[in-house]
Amino acid sequence: MVVRHDLDLDAIGEISDLPPDSSPIQLGTEGRFDERAFTVVGRIVYEHADGGWNEWHLVFADGTSGWLSDAQAEYAVSTLVAPPPQPLPEATAVTVGVGYPWRGEDLQVTTLTRARYTGVEGELPFEYWGKDEVLFADLRGHEATFATFDYSETPPLLFVGRLVEYDDLSLRQLRSFDGW
């Protein structure tokens, strides 16, 4: 893999093929979220002790980016909140049940997942190499509010959005499977 930094190119190593998955989403898939059109331009594949999931990098029509989490047919769209309105808990202090205030509601940590990258493709808004295992804390609130504390960076990152139904994304240009 070669990475471009302005006019310089850096060879960072070799990467393997992506593991097979059953997601119909692919690079170039288009859809809508909150009446905002988006295109899928990148993907990170994560693996953890109990399975794996895809994080699809979205670019909205206005040029901003977001993420579509695709995990066991559960979908959430989120965007980076930078800086977070208050500091996130340290990775060693975050536990299931910990609350985090967000716009008048208390989001609760529901899942802690230690995952590792198993593949990437397309365009990503950050450098992903050199990260072994990463802690993610998923939070839920009322009305399908969804958030993630992402401990891949220092300080950790906050992504907030909501859970969505597959059909509500109005996806097109999907991957087809033989026999479907």
Q: How far is CA 12 from CA 2, 129, 148, in A?
A: 6, 8, 28
Q: 155 in a domain, yes or no?
A: yes
Q: 30 in a domain, yes or no?
A: yes
Q: Which pTM does this prediction carry?
A: 0.84
Q: 120 in a domain, yes or no?
A: yes
Q: 173 in a domain, yes or no?
A: no
Q: 104 in a domain, yes or no?
A: yes
Q: 113 in a domain, yes or no?
A: yes
Measured distance CA(65)–CA(101) in Å, rounded = 24
Residue 149 structural domain: 25-166
Contact (CB, 8 A) for 55 and 62: no
Number of compact structural domains in the chain: 1
Q: 177 in a domain, yes or no?
A: no
Q: 176 in a domain, yes or no?
A: no
Q: Show pLDDT as tens, one digit a residue, over the chain (180 residues).
A: 455 555 555 544 444 455 556 688 999 999 999 999 999 999 988 888 888 889 999 999 999 999 999 988 889 999 999 999 989 999 999 999 999 999 888 999 999 999 988 888 898 887 665 567 899 999 999 889 999 999 988 899 999 999 999 999 999 999 886 665
Using the structure block, give the residue that is written with the tokens 């002790």: 49
DSSP category for residue 86: S
